[in-house]
Structure 1
Amino acid sequence: MPAAIAVTPKLVRQLMPPRSILSRKGDNGIVLVAGGSRFYHGAPVLASMAALRSGADLVYTAVPRSIITAVRSFSPAIIALPLPDDKLTVGSANRLVAMLPKRTDAAAIGMGMSIEPEAIVALIKKLKEAGTKILLDASALIPMVLGEISNTGSIVTPHAGEYRRLFGCDSGTTKDEMTSNVRRQAKEYGVTVALKGWLNVISDGDKVATIRRSTPAMTVGGTGDVLSGLAAGLLAKGMKPFDAAIAAVYLNGVAGSIAFKRSGLHIVATDLLDSLPAAMKPFDRIKQERP
């Protein structure tokens, strides 16, 4: 197995795409976040705000109608799309696709969501047909999705328990075990796997990268939702799935470190949202072009 890639600031700077000085709204990515349930309204909000902080131009947030007021009240930047049911049903999936703009560059699906398995498969299929890049997290990480995302380059972002549920095997406990197992599953299914934990392991089946968690304060709920939104935003900006995954994990960790320096072991996930601009600003580049 090839040696793991060392993820450094220099590498991340090389990976991050520049923004054209001539770009218009929509040129820097349009993202769909689909998630939430009657009990979990925060997860899709965190993912949506992270996608916006990534530099994406537009983010559509699809949540059950029962929580849409709470979602809309968080920020005027959120474009909330109401789904009729508290869980993702086939009818809700069809309704959602009908509400979307003609072009959606990337979608992050599953955070805080209650689902019917056949509905998540139907939604993925329709988004694929529209050319949308897919990232799956949380409730969307079920074995049934593997047939639909195989060999698509989609990103999955499981923690150890979700990894076991998705692939039917343990991720391992040592660095060697985790890198070997993650690479094997990524290669078998043709996806990019970003395993979250004390050691984040990212692989597309060929290349492998590892990034140590920046602080144990990052165990607080919601930091994974921020990661998923950030990765989806980078996907929407045109990054390759593996590059988007490692850049997102790295930048999410930097934001966690900034928040930790400010608040110690008492951070909450919204602290990462507040810290993302400082984490990402050193990697900003503007491409000068003539009109």
Structure 2
Amino acid sequence: IKTSIARENYEKLLKRDIRILDKKQLGKLGELLQTHDLIVDALLGVGLKGSLREPYASIVKKINSSDKPIVSIDVPTGLGTDTIVKPDYTVTFHDIKKGMTKENSGEIRIVDIGIPREAAEYVGPGDLKVYYPPPKPISHKGENGKLLVIGGGPFSGAPALSALAALRTGIDLVYVATPSNVRSIIASYSPNIITIPLPSQEIITTHDVDLIERYIPTSDAILVGPGAGAAEETLEALRTIIKRVTDIDKPLVVDADGIKAIGGEHNEIIRNTKTVVTPHAGEFYHLTGEKLPEEEEERKKTVTKWAAKLGVSIYLKGYLDILSNGEITKYNRIHNVSMTVGGTGDVLAGIIGALLSKGVQPIHAIRAAAFLNGEAGNIVFQEKSYGLLPTDIIEEIPTVLKKYL
């Protein structure tokens, strides 16, 4: 028994007239299945894939061959694997889970267990607590995330903010590939940032692609766009880089000027990949060609539709953020009016990139990042009010991690 809640409920069972058998008595399972009238399957929950391990695989096979009525709790054990309980009914909590159908779950009954609407629809501290992976005690340098930031040229602050935010999120290494004339400026912001001077001096061009490509395989995630500018030769280079990243299925964040490189017909290069795109309303229109509705629920539907169509995760930034991968969609309102200041988007992109580099799945990375970024901003607002700066947010990221993890 691994959790205090499970221990508490187990102790309640001990006080009741219920016969409890442990795994040492599995040999009696066949007899028990034949001498009882109903089987309640509550072995395993959601999130399984591949093959069931023993003893679960053998138990599932015995349950299915018992010829007795079966009721599964929440989901049939083994859903998502090659060995699954075949229930007559499934009593599922709150909502139908991904992958459940009448064919694999029998008749489905949804039960309200009192989850508040806000907890189901909005990002909160649980998104950070559940999805943030703390470093393992035996890990070495580089094993807790390596992020490559590709940007800068016209603007030097944006890639530096992204890099510093990523480091404060708890990864090991951040590289910034940037035109040679701004490399020393970005390096001067912090000795913690490793800069890669590109052959081009003023802006990123196609002449820089070969050098950048050398660092892509050894990075755990890539962030493209901060401060890169919108020169056509830069956008052409960014498109080439993005295509190289998605071709090897590497986690990717496309932010700011990077979004201009994948608009319209060019969004084909990110389809069905481990990509996060972080547009505001105008950038969303450039990405998709569709203007966002004003009404909240309709905006949500539009973002969800395009996330599904492109096969990516979208973090729409606004007065009410909308986060979706086409299957899971969440709102985020954890921020404040001062976070419209320039640079906060670069901070957010750096946090997302850091979480991707730590192995967090894109939809969960943007959920955790939304809370982490917004809560850090709210802490700053309590002290700095309307004088909040993106660098202030970066310095409060560890405060949030310490409080909630």
Give the TM-score of the pair, scaled to structure 1.
0.92
How do residues 108-187 of structure 1 correspond to structure 2 at under 5 angstroms? 108-114=223-229, 115=231, 116=233, 117-142=235-260, 143=263, 144-187=265-308
Query: Which residue of 2 is the match for residue 70 of structure 1?
Result: 185
Query: Which residue of 2 is the match for residue 263 of structure 1?
Result: 384
Paired residues in the alignment total 282
Deviation at 1:153, TM superposition (A): 2.8
**Alpha carbons 1:33, 1:61 under 8 Å: kept:** yes
Percent of aligned pairs sharing the same letter: 37
How do residues 204-243 of structure 1 correspond to structure 2 at under 5 angstroms? 204-243=325-364
Deviation at 1:134, TM superposition (A): 0.7
Q: Secondary structure at the match of 1:20?
A: coil
**Alpha carbons 1:103, 1:130 under 8 Å: kept:** no
Deviation at 1:245, TM superposition (A): 0.6
- CA deviations 1:232-277 (Å, max 9, x no partner) are 0000001000000111111100011011011001111111111111
**Alpha carbons 2:250, 2:274 under 8 Å: kept:** no
**Alpha carbons 1:5, 1:207 under 8 Å: kept:** no
**Alpha carbons 1:33, 1:107 under 8 Å: kept:** yes
Q: Secondary structure at the match of 1:60?
A: strand
Amino acid of the residue matched to residue 91 of structure 1?
H
Whether 1:5 aligns to 2:126 is: no
Query: Which residue of 2 is the match for residue 288 of structure 1?
Result: none
Deviation at 1:78, TM superposition (A): 0.4
- CA deviations 1:137-173 (Å, max 9, x no partner) are 0111131541111000310000111111111112222
Query: Which residue of 2 is the match for residue 189 of structure 1?
Result: 310
Whether 1:83 aligns to 2:198 is: yes
- CA deviations 1:84-139 (Å, max 9, x no partner) are 222222211222223x2751110111011125333112111222344421110011
Deviation at 1:16, TM superposition (A): 1.3
How do residues 34-73 of structure 1 correspond to structure 2 at under 5 angstroms? 34-38=150-154, 40-73=155-188
Amino acid of the residue matched to residue 20 of structure 1?
K
**Alpha carbons 1:94, 1:123 under 8 Å: kept:** no
Q: Secondary structure at the match of 1:152?
A: coil
Query: Which residue of 2 is the match for residue 14 of structure 1?
Result: 130
Deviation at 1:199, TM superposition (A): 0.5
Q: Secondary structure at the match of 1:224?
A: helix
Distance 1:190 1:180 in 2: 15
**Alpha carbons 2:254, 2:277 under 8 Å: kept:** yes
Amino acid of the residue matched to residue 213 of structure 2?
V
Residue 231 to residue 113, structure 1, CA distance change in 2 (3 Å): same
- CA deviations 1:208-248 (Å, max 9, x no partner) are 00011421000000000000000000000010000001111
Instruction: Pick from 365, 368, 382 the counterpart of residue 247 of structure 1.
Output: 368
Instruction: Say what the alpha-carbon RMSD is for the aligned residues.
Output: 1.8
Distance 2:357 2:243 in 1: 18
Q: Secondary structure at the match of 1:104?
A: coil
Distance 2:197 2:266 in 1: 24
Query: Which residue of 2 is the match for residue 289 of structure 1?
Result: none
Give the TM-score of the pair, scaled to structure 2.
0.67
**Alpha carbons 1:32, 1:60 under 8 Å: kept:** yes
**Alpha carbons 2:348, 2:369 under 8 Å: kept:** yes
Distance 2:293 2:210 in 1: 38
Q: Larger deviation: 219-228 or 137-146?
A: 137-146
Residue 269 to residue 71, structure 1, CA distance change in 2 (3 Å): same
Amino acid of the residue matched to residue 108 of structure 1?
L
Amino acid of the residue matched to residue 273 of structure 1?
I
Gaps of 5+ in 1: 285-291
Q: Which has the bigger relative contact order, CA under 8 A and spacing at least 6?
A: 1
Query: Which residue of 1 is the match for residue 24 of structure 2?
Result: none
Amino acid of the residue matched to residue 63 of structure 1?
T
